[in-house]
Amino acid sequence: MREAGVRPIATNSPAESRADAVGDRDGVRALLTGPREPLFARADALRRERMGDAVYLRGIVEFSNICANDCLYCGIRRSNRAVRRYRLDDDEILAVAHRMKGWGHGTVVLQSGEVDARRENDRIARLIARIRRETDLSVTVSAGNRSREVYARWRDAGMDRHLLRFETSDPALFAAMHPDCSLAERLDCLRALRELGVQVGSGFLIGLPGETLETLVENILLVRDLDLDMVGVGPFIAHPDTPLAGRPNAWAHDPEICFAVIATLRLVDPDLRLPATTAFDAFFPGVGRDLALRRGADVFMPNDTPARVRGDYLLYPNKPCVDEGDGACAGCVTARIWSLGRMIGEGPGHSPKSLAHAAIS
């Protein structure tokens, strides 16, 4: 474990946190637009130095695709009548969780559409508690915006981390994409989670229609200011059954910028847990996640959703692993990581930042 004090503890003060060379606006812009190979090499070296060669596996269980929201880009938005809706029962989720240890997946990520109803919130609390009681997995929840009280209840039940992307730092673009929520509300959720002592993951889409280079620069600076534990980013891919059908990624002329974003995040915020997200493989078939791991990323999130419902959780088309059998990603992922000369991280792989926080509190 890193000693407390090596890394300055979060101030959440933009002025202070942006004070070094790579972290200011011009520095970030220069990294994103400069030569790519030196950037990737620098990010890979820094990843090795700060995080080591272990790749931590966080198995995703997409336990429900029922969603009350209508985010314009998302394939499971409530207006998409073509989706066959499902919700797995707790026993089926637990059956997966019990197999995860054998697969080397130290964390279960419980992901679903957003349903902020009392019954659903209670079920999630019970599910977290049961997983913690019956396994030694860490529990991450990724189920959308909630009140501080609900997050507190989930924390008390045993939730270690929560993932909630801010999607874009541009309030107008955020409003255009999210009829049900504002950027300010989303950021309030992230702050509440941090105050509750939960490890916080967030992140953003790369290439939403209407995004510019300045949006990407601001997204990266916002990551830095929020002092997150983990950041998941991934290319926007138009889903045919959404209002953004057929819209190209804003970086279609420069898709490699997606990797430049990963590498820049590593340089700007070196102790971040940075997953090589699934959308990288959809955008760069067969190679995206491996390349992300070689350009700054240190986490992989295999799909552990039961095979019978995987095809019903399509946030975007060409999602990889959808036709694989139960548990197939587990073997595949191990081979991929070894072929990169890396190894599987053992245990939960908590964020070094959270360990430093705990050591001094």
Q: Does 239 bind ligand 5AD (CB under 6 A)?
A: yes
E-assigned strands of the chain?
54-64, 107-112, 138-142, 161-163, 199-206, 230-235, 275-276, 299-300, 343-344
Determine, following the binding rule CB under 6 A, whether residue 302 of this chain makes contact with ligand FES: yes
User: Which one of ligand 5AD, ligand FES, none is in contact with 165 (Cβ closer than 5 to 8 A by kind)?
Assistant: ligand 5AD
Given ligand 5AD, ligand FES, none, residue 279, with its beta carbon under 5 to 8 Å by kind, binds ligand 5AD
Q: Which does 303 bind (CB under 5 to 8 A by kind): ligand 5AD, ligand FES, none?
A: ligand FES
How far from the centroid of its chain's Cα atoms is residue 14's Cα? 23
**230 or 282: whose CB is closer to ligand FES?**
282
Q: How far, in whole angstroms, is CA 146 from its chain's centroid? A: 17
Q: Which of 30, 332, 343, 355 binds ligand FES (CB under 6 A)?
A: 332
- Contact range with ligand FES by CB under 6 A, out of 126-134, 158-166, 194-202, 322-330: 322-330
Q: Of ligand FES, ligand 5AD, none, which one sits near residue 328, judging by CB under 5 to 8 A according to partner kind?
A: ligand FES
The span of 50-58, 89-97, 221-229, 230-238 binding ligand 5AD (CB under 6 A) equals 230-238
Q: Is 11 exposed, middle or buried (0-12, 13-18, 19+ CB in 10 A)?
A: exposed
d(CA 296, CA 270): 9
Does 354 sit near ligand FES (CB under 6 A)? no
Selected from 151, 236, 251, 280, the binder of ligand 5AD by CB under 6 A is 236
Spatial contact of 196 and 241, defined as CB atoms under 8 Å apart:
no
Say which entry of ligand FES, ligand 5AD, none residue 259 contacts (CB below 5 to 8 A, set by partner kind). none
Q: Please state the length of the chain.
A: 361
Site mask for ligand 5AD (CB under 6 A), range 197-226, x = bound: --------x---------------------
Task: Tell me how far, at minimum, the Cβ of 320 lies from ligand FES, in Å.
Answer: 6
Joined tokens for residue 336: 């991929």
Q: Per-residue x/- mask for ligand 5AD, residues 177 to 196, rule CB under 6 A?
A: --------------------
Alpha carbons within 13 angstroms on the beta-carbon side of residue 131 total: 31
Ramachandran angles phi, psi of 339, nearest 5°: -65, -20
Rounded distance, CA 306 to CA 311, Å?
A: 10
Distance CA 303, CA 215 (A): 30
* Phi and psi at residue 323, to the nearest 5°: -95, 5
Instruction: Supply φ then ψ for residue 103, to 5 degrees.
Output: -85, -5
Helix (H) or strand (E) holding 42: helix 36-51
Binding stretches for ligand FES (CB under 6 A) = 302-303, 321, 324, 328-329, 332-333
Binding stretches for ligand 5AD (CB under 6 A) = 73-74, 165, 167, 205, 234, 236-237, 239, 279, 315-316
